Amino acid sequence: MKRWSALASSSALIAMTSGCIPPGVPDGGYVPPAPTRSSRPAPMATAQPAPQSTPRPPARRVTSAAQAPRGYVPSTPLPPARPSSMPASAAVSQLPAPRPAWELRPVEADATVVTAQRYTVAPGDTLARVAQRTGAGAEAIARANRLDPPFTLRAGQQLDIPGGRYHLVRPGQTGIAIARAYGVPWSQVVAANDLVEPYVLRSGQRVLIPGDPARASTAAERAAAFTLDVDSILTGGEPALANNQAPARPQPTARRALPATTPVVAPSAAPGRFIWPVGGTIVRRFGAGASGERNDGIKIAVPLNTPVKAVADGVVAYVGDGIAALGGLVIVRHGGGWTSVYGHAAKLLVRRGQAVTRGETLALSGATGFADRPELHFELRRGRTPVDPTTQLPRR
């Protein structure tokens, strides 16, 4: 039984619905063009590193979103080509996204290599003390010996100490930064340590790093081996809690941003009914495409700078452009283990750690990342599993 994190509370699934989206977002009478076949294969919705041949944005002065080339995501917000229907408040809420915690708090690959061994429990030993003496993780020792909470030990007891590389977590470090430092997929670290929702590390925890401890790798090899994707952000993006530290409460507005290295309380209340994030035409559906590539969400064609709405109450988990394929990206956590994902945005109007309400504007739509047109890439996830959004959104 999983026992190293609190499981998310369950919530009732919403009735199955159809995939059509009615008009509803002001669009000035714009009718999205019919989907066209691209000359290149349709990109996967899951995050992939940008191809080496992808040109960098032109080094020229861009003074408005209307002048920005396709795929351009500014490091500082630009004045939008604001339609008359766009709320005035959105024009003054465009704040630059701060660097994420995994960039602000990098990790040094200084893991302790532990040899598999037998340990005899001494009088006064606790599981934490055994972990400190051997260098192995307390959780790994408990799993190897099938110990149950409260992990009471007795003098003379024999414990199997599992060998491997163990990284000592420091305050503010993230799973993403740890995985990058060792050049392993974070999903493999999650599996090796039996991590579960909400995937929050704590200072002093020893994390088992999978792989061959004897094989040395260069920094370039380690960087190339790690790929940032939505699942990594959801499971490895939160900073580690320091001893006796409680997560911070979400902030009500984007103007009072929490530091990127501050852990934030995850929402617990069930999200209730979802709403459509935009009105428009679905130009790509959930699941495998004609070429076999997987799409973890849907793509909705909308006019440039269409307000993108939160589909339910929640807390912003990520804002930025770190996933090349998705461009400007907002990820929102909801209660009941639900997460919503909004990609290809031209403008990002919220901050990580901000509490948002259903219908609140998160971003303005664009054609950033690997978008073929102004569109929204939208996902819903339950835990780590992508869910077809059209089965969860209301039918109109």
pLDDT of residue 294: 86
pLDDT of residue 97: 59
**Is the pLDDT reported for residue 156 higher than 50?**
yes
pLDDT of residue 98: 74
pLDDT digits (tens, 9 = 90+) for 324-358: 999 999 999 999 999 999 999 999 999 999 999 99
- Domain covering 116-162: architecture: Roll (3.10)
Report which DSSP code applies to 267: P
CB 363 within 8 A of CB 326: no
- Where in the chain is CATH 3.10.350.10? 116-162
CB 285 within 8 A of CB 301: no
Beta strands in the chain (DSSP E): 112-114, 117-120, 158-161, 164-168, 206-209, 281-284, 287-288, 294-295, 298-301, 307-309, 314-320, 328-333, 338-348, 355-356, 361-365, 375-382, 385-387
Percentage of the chain beyond pLDDT 90 is 62
* pTM (2 d.p.): 0.74
pLDDT digits (tens, 9 = 90+) for 8-61: 333 333 333 333 333 333 333 323 333 333 333 344 344 344 444 444 444 333
Lowest mean pLDDT segment, chosen from 93-102, 220-229, 239-248, 292-301: 93-102
- Domain covering 77-97+251-391: architecture: Distorted Sandwich (2.70)
68 band by pLDDT with thresholds 50, 70 and 90: very low
pLDDT of residue 276: 98
pLDDT digits (tens, 9 = 90+) for 200-223: 899 999 999 998 877 767 777 776
pLDDT digits (tens, 9 = 90+) for 172-185: 999 999 999 999 99
pLDDT digits (tens, 9 = 90+) for 279-327: 999 999 999 877 778 899 999 999 999 999 999 999 999 999 999 999 9
CB 261 within 8 A of CB 101: yes
pLDDT of residue 34: 36
- Where in the chain is CATH 2.70.70.10? 77-97+251-391
Lowest mean pLDDT segment, chosen from 92-96, 101-105, 267-271, 390-394: 92-96
